[in-house]
Amino acid sequence: MAEVARASSAGDERAWLLRAVLVLQSPRAVFAAIRDDSDEAAEARQEAAGAIVWLAGIAGVLATSVASRFLTNPSRDWLVLFAWAFIAGGIYGFALYLALGKVLHIGLRRLGSQGSFRRARHLLAYSAAPIALALVLYWPIRIAIYGDDLFKFGGDDSGAAGDASAWLFYAFVAWALVLLVIGVRTVHGWTWQRSLAGVATATAIVGGLALGVSLLYALT
- Give the pLDDT score at 219: 66
pLDDT digits 0-9 by tens, 165-201 = 778 999 999 999 999 999 999 999 999 999 999 999 8
- Give the pLDDT score at 216: 64
Sign of CA dihedral 97, 103, 37, 39: positive
* 48 domain-assigned: yes
Contact 131, 168 (CB under 8 A): no
- Give the pLDDT score at 90: 96
- Give the pLDDT score at 1: 44
- Give the pLDDT score at 32: 97
- Give the pLDDT score at 206: 81
Contact 56, 128 (CB under 8 A): yes
Q: Which residues contact 54 (CB under 8 A, 6 or more apart)?
A: 89, 90, 93, 94
* 20 domain-assigned: no
Burial class of residue 134, CB neighbours in 10 A (0-12, 13-18, 19+): buried
* 182 domain-assigned: yes
pLDDT digits 0-9 by tens, 143-160 = 998 998 899 887 655 544
* 23 domain-assigned: no
Euclidean distance between CA atoms 103 and 139, whole angstroms: 28
User: Range of 157's domain?
Assistant: 28-219
Euclidean distance between CA atoms 39 and 151, whole angstroms: 43
CA angle, 26 as apex, 23 and 32 as ends, to 5°? Answer: 80
CA angle, 130 as apex, 139 and 82 as ends, to 5°? Answer: 35
Q: At what angle do helices 117-127 and 78-110 cross, to 10 degrees?
A: 130
* 159 domain-assigned: yes
Helix (H, G, I), strand (E, B) or coil at 71: helix
- Give the pLDDT score at 9: 58
Euclidean distance between CA atoms 124 and 53, whole angstroms: 9
* 19 domain-assigned: no
- Give the pLDDT score at 204: 86
Residue 190 phi, psi (nearest 5): -85, 170
* 178 domain-assigned: yes
* 8 domain-assigned: no
Stated length of the chain: 220
With a cut of 70, list the residues of the chain below it in pLDDT.
Answer: 1-10, 155-164, 210, 213-220
Structural domain tally of the chain? 1
- Give the pLDDT score at 220: 58
